[in-house]
Amino acid sequence: MIGMLSGTCLMAGQTSSGGEAIVDCSGVGYLVRCGGRALSNMREGEPVRLHVETHVREQSITLFGFATEEERAWFERLQVVQGLGPKAALAILDIMSPGDIMSAAALEDKAAFARASGVGPKLAGRIAVELSGKPPPVGRGFTSAFTAPTSAPGNGAARNEGLSDMQLRNDAISALVNLGIGQSEALRAVAEAYQGFADDPELDVLVRASLKALGT
Q: In this model, does residue 146 exceed pLDDT 80?
A: no
Mark whether 61 and 23 lie in a shared domain: yes
How much is the pTM? 0.74
Residue 174 covered by a domain: yes
Mark whether 73 and 49 lie in a shared domain: no
Domain that holds residue 154: 145-214
Residue 79 covered by a domain: yes
Mark whether 10 and 58 lie in a shared domain: yes
Mark whether 9 and 60 lie in a shared domain: yes
DSSP state of 44: T
DSSP E strand boundaries for the chain:
4-15, 18-25, 28-34, 47-56, 61-66
- Look at residues 49, 66, 83 and tell me which one is the last residue of a structural domain: 66
Residue 89 sits in a domain of what CATH number?
1.10.150.20
Residue 65's pLDDT is: 95
Separation of alpha carbons 193 and 211, rounded Å: 9
Please compute the mean of the pLDDT values over residues 3-11 and round it to a whole number.
Answer: 94
Most distant CA atoms of the chain, gap in Å: 59
Residue 107 covered by a domain: yes
> Which is more confidently placed, 214 or 145?
214
pLDDT tens digits for 97-114? 888 898 899 889 999 999
Residue 151's pLDDT is: 35
